[in-house]
Chain A
Amino acid sequence: MSMTDATRNALRTGTVLFLFALVGTAILAFTHDRTEPVITRSQQAEKLALINQVLPASSYDNDLLASRQDLPPDDLLGTRQPSALWIARRGSQVTAVVLEAIAPDGYAGDIALLIGIDIDGKVTGVRVTAHRETPGLGDYVERTKSAWIDQFAGKSLTDPEPKHWKVAKDGGAFDARAGATITPRAVVKAVRSALDYFARHRAAFVAAPPAKEKKA
């Protein structure tokens, strides 16, 4: 049986394509292998740096990243998917938690937040981690754009009173810039809800057994 020219041609082209795919895959596998440990390290350092913006590194001594747990979706957190929780300890004592929450009612959809709350229910810090608010208008909730978000530090459900957990324009205790109140209103509401969530689950957080921690 002899091959026709067309068959031979198709085989040849197929082989060439296969060889290119093989070489391409090998190069990618090699690069991935070489870069993965470095990338994982810098991603963790980055995550920890972000967490340390809402919770001072001096307030815990455990391996915070290893303490990560998944929280089920909850209306108070504004989450529709499991979100992360980190439990900070000093010695065996739980000192604070850091959790992810979402303000679902921003001007342009979800505003993702990272919130640190100490064991007495006081906010240690809040950061906006992702949003699609209008540049130059609602985006001052980002720490790189303004210090607005810093006013949550030290606040709790008793200070200010629950009815004052609103922006100033609505008679509350939190400033907001004129002309752009939807975004801060959403953030204030989400931080308050997260505090409610914490108050409800505080006992479980405090009793949580320490994660098995790898020595770094």
Chain B
Amino acid sequence: MMTLNEFRSLFQNGLIKQNTGLVQLLGLCPLLAISNNVVNALSLGLATLLVMAASSGAVSGVRHFVPHEIRIPVFVLIIAALVTVIDLAMNAFVHPLYLVLGIFIPLITTNCIVLARADAFASKNHPLHSVIDAVAMGLGLTLVLVVLGAIRELAGKGTLFSGIDLVFGAAAKSYVLHVLPHYQGFLLAILPPGAFIALGLLIAAHNWNKARAAQRVRAAVPMAA
């Protein structure tokens, strides 16, 4: 079984230490493409999380039956099949949400973070650990996506949560926050260059924070000695 410490360290890895968007820099293509507003970002993040949890669980469940030399094709097969099942099921049973996320779902197959976690973690660990690792990694990705989406949407349009009515129906239109009223907009933030610039700033902030923490530790050691 799993101890609380293991649990905590999986989440620390997924959210901060090994964050896919800020540290591993895996799966940047969807990260950059879909982060032009909060609603898109959150939706894609949660969809990826769902796929990661399902595929890591499945890969971990069959890990003893997969010969080492064909593990990659088998993992790709599992991930592609799961994504297709989720794609079809969403299309059939939550159609309005599918209309928003539809184009992103097949793209999740190509998100290398899914395969990376399947190969680097799920193929060597118990299903429970694997699913939790996938959820933590997915949350880390979602967090970066949402922060990036918020920065770009605020800078680009002066709003937050625009397009939320596409997820929750027309009644949700009033949830859109016009944070900066009469804002003229800053197109660059919404276009692709805005994604690179904002992600660069986020990575810089993360590294700065890490360096400061390391410095504190170094400063603290002599005193403790």
A28 near B190: Cβ-Cβ < 8 Å: no
B70 near A17: Cβ-Cβ < 8 Å: yes
How near does chain B come to A39, taking the closest CB pair, in angstroms?
5
A-B contact count (CB 8 A): 59
**A211 contacts B by Cβ under 8 Å:** no
Residues on A with beta carbons closer than 8 Å to the beta carbon of B77: 20-21, 24
A17 near B85: Cβ-Cβ < 8 Å: no
Q: A28-B84, A31-B84 are in contact. Are A136 and B73 (CB under 8 A)?
A: no
Q: In the complex, which range does the number of interface residues on chain B fall in?
A: 20 to 34
Chain A, 1-59, CB within 8 A of any chain B CB: 12-13, 16-17, 20-21, 24, 27-28, 31-32, 34-35, 38-39, 42, 46
A134 near B187: Cβ-Cβ < 8 Å: yes
Residues on B with beta carbons closer than 8 Å to the beta carbon of A20: 62, 66, 74, 77-78
B156 near A17: Cβ-Cβ < 8 Å: no
CA gap between A17 and B71 in the complex, in Å: 9
**A199 contacts B by Cβ under 8 Å:** no
B81 near A39: Cβ-Cβ < 8 Å: no
CA gap between A39 and B94 in the complex, in Å: 10
B88 near A42: Cβ-Cβ < 8 Å: no
CA gap between A28 and B78 in the complex, in Å: 11
With both beta carbons as reference points, the residue of chain A lying nearest to B74 in the complex is identified as A20
Residues on A with beta carbons closer than 8 Å to the beta carbon of B74: 16-17, 20
A35 near B66: Cβ-Cβ < 8 Å: no
Q: A13-B70, A28-B85 are in contact. Are A35 and B92 (CB under 8 A)?
A: yes
CA gap between A21 and B80 in the complex, in Å: 11
The residue from A12, A32, A35, A42 contacting B67, defined by CB atoms under 8 A apart: A12
How near does chain A come to B184, taking the closest CB pair, in angstroms?
10
The residue from A21, A35, A136, A137 contacting B89, defined by CB atoms under 8 A apart: A35
**A91 contacts B by Cβ under 8 Å:** no
Chain B's interface: helix, strand, loop or mixed, by majority?
Answer: helix
Residues on A with beta carbons closer than 8 Å to the beta carbon of B65: 16
Residues on A with beta carbons closer than 8 Å to the beta carbon of B78: 20, 24
How near does chain A come to B87, taking the closest CB pair, in angstroms?
9
The residue from A27, A34, A42, A135 contacting B187, defined by CB atoms under 8 A apart: A135
A136 near B88: Cβ-Cβ < 8 Å: no
Residues on A with beta carbons closer than 8 Å to the beta carbon of B12: none
1/0 per residue, CB under 8 A from A, across B75-97: the answer is: 00110110011001101110100
CA gap between A69 and B48 in the complex, in Å: 39
CA gap between A35 and B90 in the complex, in Å: 9
B81 near A42: Cβ-Cβ < 8 Å: no
**B157 contacts A by Cβ under 8 Å:** yes
Residues on A with beta carbons closer than 8 Å to the beta carbon of B88: 31-32, 35, 39
Chain A residues in contact with chain B, CB under 8 A?
12-13, 16-17, 20-21, 24, 27-28, 31-32, 34-35, 38-39, 42, 46, 134-137
17 contacts between A and B (CB under 8 A): A12-B67, A20-B62, A20-B74, A24-B78, A24-B80, A24-B81, A28-B85, A31-B84, A35-B88, A35-B89, A35-B92, A38-B92, A38-B93, A46-B99, A135-B36, A136-B156, A137-B187
The 7 nearest A-B residue pairs measured at CB:
A35-B92, A38-B92, A24-B81, A35-B88, A42-B95, A31-B85, A13-B67
